[in-house]
Structure 1
Amino acid sequence: MTATPPPVPELLARSADDAAHLYLHLLGEVRLAWGGVSLPLPGPKPLAVLAYLHLKGRASREELAEIFWPDKHNALQNVRQALMTLRRLSGAGGWLMEDRQELVLAGISDVSELRRLQQGDPQAALDFALSSDTLLGRLATISAHFDAWLDEERGVLRATQLKVLQACSLQLLDSGQYDRARDLLHQAMFMEGDSEATYRTLMLLEHRAGRTAQALQVFEECRRMLESELNLTPDTETLNLLQQIEDRPSGSNQRGELLSGEVLAQPATEPCFGRQDELTQARALLQHHRRVLVHGLAGLGKTRLARELAGQVTPAGRQVAWLDVGGDSGEVILNGLRDLLRAKRDTDLEDAFSQARVGLLVLDNAVNTYAAQQVLSRLPESVPVLLTSRLRLPNLPKVELSRLPRSAALDLLRFHLPEGGEPEAVNQDALCALLGDHPFAVRLAARTLGPASGAEVVRALYDAPHDTVQVLLEQSVGQLDARAYEAYLGLGSLFVPQATPELLASLLARPEEEVTVALFQLVERGLLTRASRAGSDTVSFQMHDLTWHAARAHRAHLPHHLVHAVTGYTETFAERPDLLATDLPHLLGAAAIAPPPLLRRLLRAWLGGQYIAARGFPTAHLHLLQKGIERAEQDGDFETASLLNGKYADISQALLGDQVTATERLLRAAGQAGQVQAWGRQATFLALAGQMEAMRRLPEAFTHLQAAQDLADRSGQPVIQARVRAQQAMAHASRQEFVQARALLAEARDLLHQVLQTGPGDHAVWTAYLGVLGNLGQSEMRLGNLTGALDLKREVWRVASGRDDRLFMARSAFDQGELLHQLGQPQDALTQLRAAIEISQTLGAGSLESMARKLLQDIASAQPDEGGS
């Protein structure tokens, strides 16, 4: 679909309506008009000056000389001659003026019209936006400076055109005009093929048009474009839209296990009824393609078929690696796989698969398209992979599951009917027909039918023939005892279909032991599954999607009840970061809807302990933390505002590498701490801000550091005094004064060591101690004592590992990698850097991960026998 700007006669009419303005046609062949009359074009440079003045707004003669005649001694004379040429054009006295020693052009153009209309009426701007002509496209090279400016203007114009096309396509999309909206988006892609926003809008369009498979295919094209053209990954907004399209929860706490061929060969608890043709097809596809998708709607038996297939293709002496991945991210899935195979890094996976004698990898319930593609791209090609999903994952050969053959549905029904569990009046063939031969429905019906209830269940099914699964679920849960039914409704009320017993106990106001018993009753009835993460003692329980949606329909707990329950749970388990991390979707869900007082309480409990250090923070949700800070400040709760601003600074500095924002937040937090007379906290924040300012060579740095020292002495707290000394040391280090830095850090270490000797020490003391040890190691490194520095960094790792403080673990691993590289131990350095990357990814610490990747690539490129990560 193409169009051009309004024709020349219309432009001439427009200029006649407003004779005070010059009209410039700048897209493609340049035209000028004034008072409804076309003007002759001046020479190339005067014309370029005219366009520059119009698009720039105003410019001095000196600026024009620099842009157009940068290497000429008589540049100003050339400017004067160009202006004389322009003033010979009709009407120039009205549209070319000089104001306060700057030249100003009163003009309108197709470009200015596009920008004006874009703000208020994108549809009116559409003809301009669809122009395929280039800004000043036929103008010859003028000067290097002008050409650079023109390239930038063309980029800005292209971005404006794209915004108009995207805005118009969204308007058409909202009105249901999908075909026309799709045409506009394809035109936008032709104009700018690497615009992620355009791909995102096209994904949304296909999703709203009910074309989920096409929406996923657009995402895959976007992912590949970003990777191949820009070496980037999709941004958060695109991934959030993908999650909406896939209709998946945030994560599933994936589980993994190694299943031997002998175990898989044992008789299953349920035969694989009616799937022989699909099994044959899947075996053939695996043999020829190595990557195969089993696709089907919820409840059709994808997992059961995958297990049967795994048993058939896995010989004695071999194993299957099985991961239930759900909606987890690619990195979470890969971490689970590495843990399962005891591999430290991706490059070890091929050897790990071989050593574990793995002949097949199963990724079950893969409902995150991007994660699936990430994982597949990083797996060794030698390993066959079977995926199961209710989504049509792009670019994979597929085995499609549909309803069972009638004979198989009858076999399944009879298999699950308890002895004496079916009333004689039930016609099994008619029942399977009524259930659509759907495996989940047939299985549930068999467990629900009983001598006393069978006739009632069948009547209910006939009364609602198009909603049989819902009817069966209602009949099944109707047979639960009170506590199990309460747990069922509680899980259905939560933000995602998975939770820990601790969180559910908080929601139900019941003892945890009682809730756990109820949950296991639901597991026994097939309404729940138990989940745990490798390396963690935390246990959670997950509902099948069909069960969760049925439970959710009751809405037994109102949103404000959920927020109160999540807040109370977070306060109770504030020092259990692994537990809170398991329930992270619920923390985020509650924070998103919490009223200000509860939001402040929730954030204080969640982030006031060791959570950020141990698990990082989902930076895509920083707006929730910002919201909590703003409300605390508005309400005059400076205690909370100070704490949260300090946490925001931690995230900005440690996870995002943004020291400017971190400094601003620290100074804000210090002022708020002073308002509540929290001198120790104020000193700490001022010292941290002063240290960051010193690194940026700001003059106020040592003023803030001195104020921090005065406050620390005033507080009389050794921990605060140690922190301030540590930050003063870092300020000296930024000025290359490493001897002074080492002395101050040694004093800080001794102060903290004395505190820790008197008791176990709280999280804040240990955090300060780890920071001082790490910085002391940096000082030793700067002074040339690499061995001493390495010893200190290893001590940081030992202490941080014992406390599961992953942020310090990641920093220590990176520092050790750097030191080992300098000490001539490249293989050990690579090991540490890969560890730093893996831990950084779990934290979302992008800045640290980037540094580690850069150093790893530099080292690996010099090692012919060792690949990168």
Structure 2
Amino acid sequence: MAKSHLRLLGRATLGLGESWIPLERKVAGVLAYLALEGPTPRSKLAGLLWPETHERAARNNLVQSLRRLRRAVGGYEAVRGEGTLQLAEDLEADVTRLILSTLQGKYAEAVDLEGELIGGYDYDDCPDFADWLQAEREHLSGLWREALESEAKRLEGEGEFRKALALALRLAEADPFSEEHLRRVMRLYYLRGDRGAAMSAYHHGRERLKRELGVDPLPETQALVQVIERGAVLPGAGGRLRREIPLALWQPPVLVGREQALAQIEEAWEAGKLVFVAGEPGIGKSRLLRDFASRNGSYVWMSALPGDKGTPFAFYARALREAFGESPGLRLPSWVRRELSRILPDLFPLDPLPWRDPADRSCKDLCVRARV
């Protein structure tokens, strides 16, 4: 016989075949209690959900509620028993699946079992049941977060950064004041190569903490953002992005059919001209430029990232860090160091001069005068 399904996470419904029947408030409470506590005396359920009613009347209310449920689902008995009630053996509850999946370490099965236990219903008129419900809601929410955290950690370790990030964002949405979740989001954005998005996540998180709680990020969070700002390797970074194409196809040992383009770049280079290489994605522009650069001594390779648009001077700051890394003994005038402290506070921890007008934000004077 095909199993029937009981959804208690979110809106409470009972599924039979292709049909899903919404559950009344008190019936949803009865089914939730039986799903999580197991077989329960009829008198106890009646007392929990009809506490202000005489015992006999409360038991009658319970009988009538279950009778209405049976009529609504075409005669199917979701609750069975006489003195002690229990769920039908063929009725599968999502809360049971969530508990078993997390206990067995099957976190991938648990991550989609999301939602508040019989969400949308309150039981202020049933204080003992309300206390039980609140405790169970917190318990199940904790199990769900444990599943997401464990699965995100596993995916990150295997280099599945995109999938891990999707779970990390769900965690951060569920608990927006958790700096642990914030750091995970920042780290995964950075591991995917999107430094700008990592910095944007940090700034949004910092503003939320300051606005809602009046606190600054923890030292661990600030240490992570400093690593990201420097473009450094994350301590203990685990997996690598999987490549479905062999490395030999990503970086062929010999570049064929680009002799004319290389000659044109060489000619422009010798003439002191600026070189632009344009073309459709994936035709080898980056490989062509790398081959040319390698023929002309040392070089610095910089790439724009998708998140740069949301972070002022992101590309420029990375380029300057690379340049200073190549010339660690470079001596700069004090005014240049102070200007650079605007966008490289970790390298030049000075008090920057205030912007004179919006045009200054282009830093073009700095580019010309500093000649870096």
TM-score by length of 2: 0.52
Task: Decide whether the 8 Å contact of 1:61 with 1:79 is kept in 2.
Answer: no
Which residue does 1:46 correspond to in 2?
Answer: 27
- In structure 2, the residue corresponding to 1:176 is in which secondary structure? coil
Change (3 A) 1:95 1:79: same
Greater gyration radius: 1
Q: CA deviation at 1:110?
A: 1.4
Which residue does 1:30 correspond to in 2?
Answer: 12
Matched AA of 1:124: E
Which residue does 2:154 correspond to in 1?
Answer: 171
C-alpha separation in 2, matches of 1:248 and 1:176: 15
Task: Decide whether the 8 Å contact of 2:35 with 2:95 is kept in 1.
Answer: no
C-alpha separation in 1, matches of 2:47 and 2:153: 43
Which residue does 1:121 correspond to in 2?
Answer: 106
Taking the TM superposition and a 5 Å limit, the aligned residue runs for 1:392-431 are none
Deviations 1:149-197 (A, max 9, x none): 5455445444444443443333333343333433343344444444433
Change (3 A) 1:167 1:85: same
C-alpha separation in 2, matches of 1:197 and 1:303: 38
Task: Decide whether the 8 Å contact of 2:28 with 2:118 is kept in 1.
Answer: no
Which residue does 1:199 correspond to in 2?
Answer: 182
Which residue does 1:136 correspond to in 2?
Answer: 118
Residue 55 (structure 1) aligned with residue 36 (structure 2): yes
Change (3 A) 1:219 1:79: same
Q: CA deviation at 1:48?
A: 1.6
Which residue does 1:385 correspond to in 2?
Answer: 352
Matched AA of 1:13: A
Matched AA of 2:110: A
C-alpha separation in 2, matches of 1:127 and 1:29: 15
Residue 234 (structure 1) aligned with residue 217 (structure 2): yes
C-alpha separation in 1, matches of 2:33 and 2:200: 43
Which residue does 1:224 correspond to in 2?
Answer: 207
Q: CA deviation at 1:80?
A: 2.1
Residue 366 (structure 1) aligned with residue 324 (structure 2): no
Q: CA deviation at 1:203?
A: 1.4
Number of residues of Structure 1 aligned to a counterpart in Structure 2:
267
C-alpha separation in 1, matches of 2:99 and 2:333: 56
Change (3 A) 1:116 1:301: same
C-alpha separation in 2, matches of 1:163 and 1:402: 49
Matched AA of 2:156: L
Q: Percent identity?
A: 26
Q: CA deviation at 1:205?
A: 0.9
Q: CA deviation at 1:401?
A: 12
Task: Decide whether the 8 Å contact of 1:45 with 1:142 is kept in 2.
Answer: no
C-alpha separation in 1, matches of 2:222 and 2:121: 42
Task: Decide whether the 8 Å contact of 2:116 with 2:141 is kept in 1.
Answer: no
Which residue does 2:94 correspond to in 1?
Answer: 110
C-alpha separation in 2, matches of 1:207 and 1:40: 45
Residue 81 (structure 1) aligned with residue 60 (structure 2): yes
- In structure 1, the residue corresponding to 2:118 is in which secondary structure? coil
C-alpha separation in 2, matches of 1:39 and 1:186: 30
Residue 296 (structure 1) aligned with residue 321 (structure 2): yes
Q: CA deviation at 1:69?
A: 3.6
C-alpha separation in 2, matches of 1:244 and 1:156: 35
Taking the TM superposition and a 5 Å limit, the aligned residue runs for 1:170-569 are 170-235=153-218, 238-239=221-222, 241-242=224-225, 245=228, 247=232, 296-297=321-322, 298-299=324-325, 300=327, 304-305=331-332, 307-309=334-336, 366=346, 385=352
Residue 68 (structure 1) aligned with residue 49 (structure 2): yes
Structure 1, unmatched stretches of 5+, are: 1-11, 16-22, 251-292, 314-360, 377-383, 388-396, 409-438, 440-869
Which residue does 1:14 correspond to in 2?
Answer: 3
C-alpha separation in 1, matches of 2:234 and 2:110: 40
C-alpha separation in 2, matches of 1:244 and 1:94: 60
C-alpha separation in 2, matches of 1:52 and 1:114: 15
Change (3 A) 1:402 1:148: farther
C-alpha separation in 1, matches of 2:330 and 2:82: 75
C-alpha separation in 2, matches of 1:141 and 1:40: 21
C-alpha separation in 1, matches of 2:335 and 2:6: 72
- In structure 1, the residue corresponding to 2:113 is in which secondary structure? helix
Task: Decide whether the 8 Å contact of 1:162 with 1:188 is kept in 2.
Answer: yes
The structure where helix makes up a greater share of residues is 1
Matched AA of 1:32: L
Q: CA deviation at 1:204?
A: 1.8
Matched AA of 1:201: R
Task: Decide whether the 8 Å contact of 1:296 with 1:302 is kept in 2.
Answer: no
- In structure 1, the residue corresponding to 2:109 is in which secondary structure? coil
Change (3 A) 1:400 1:242: farther
Taking the TM superposition and a 5 Å limit, the aligned residue runs for 1:767-806 are none
Which residue does 2:314 correspond to in 1?
Answer: none
Task: Decide whether the 8 Å contact of 1:126 with 1:165 is kept in 2.
Answer: yes
Matched AA of 2:162: D
- In structure 2, the residue corresponding to 1:305 is in which secondary structure? coil
Q: Bigger relative contact order, structure 1 or 2, given CA contacts below 8 A and separation 6+? A: 2
Matched AA of 1:217: S
Change (3 A) 1:54 1:73: same
Task: Decide whether the 8 Å contact of 1:166 with 1:201 is kept in 2.
Answer: no
Change (3 A) 1:248 1:169: closer
Task: Decide whether the 8 Å contact of 1:87 with 1:96 is kept in 2.
Answer: no
Matched AA of 2:95: V
Q: CA deviation at 1:27?
A: 3.3
C-alpha separation in 1, matches of 2:353 and 2:177: 32
C-alpha separation in 1, matches of 2:66 and 2:193: 60
Calculate the aligned-residue CA RMSD, in Å. Answer: 5.1
C-alpha separation in 2, matches of 1:232 and 1:55: 39
Task: Decide whether the 8 Å contact of 1:303 with 1:365 is kept in 2.
Answer: no
TM-score by length of 1: 0.25
C-alpha separation in 1, matches of 2:48 and 2:222: 43
Taking the TM superposition and a 5 Å limit, the aligned residue runs for 1:146-165 are 146-147=129-130, 149-150=132-133, 153-165=136-148
Matched AA of 2:107: P
Which residue does 1:425 correspond to in 2?
Answer: none
C-alpha separation in 2, matches of 1:403 and 1:170: 42
Which residue does 1:474 correspond to in 2?
Answer: none
Q: CA deviation at 1:128?
A: 2.5
C-alpha separation in 1, matches of 2:34 and 2:225: 44
Change (3 A) 1:399 1:47: same
Q: CA deviation at 1:79?
A: 4.1
Taking the TM superposition and a 5 Å limit, the aligned residue runs for 1:543-692 are none
Q: CA deviation at 1:59?
A: 6.1
C-alpha separation in 2, matches of 1:95 and 1:62: 13
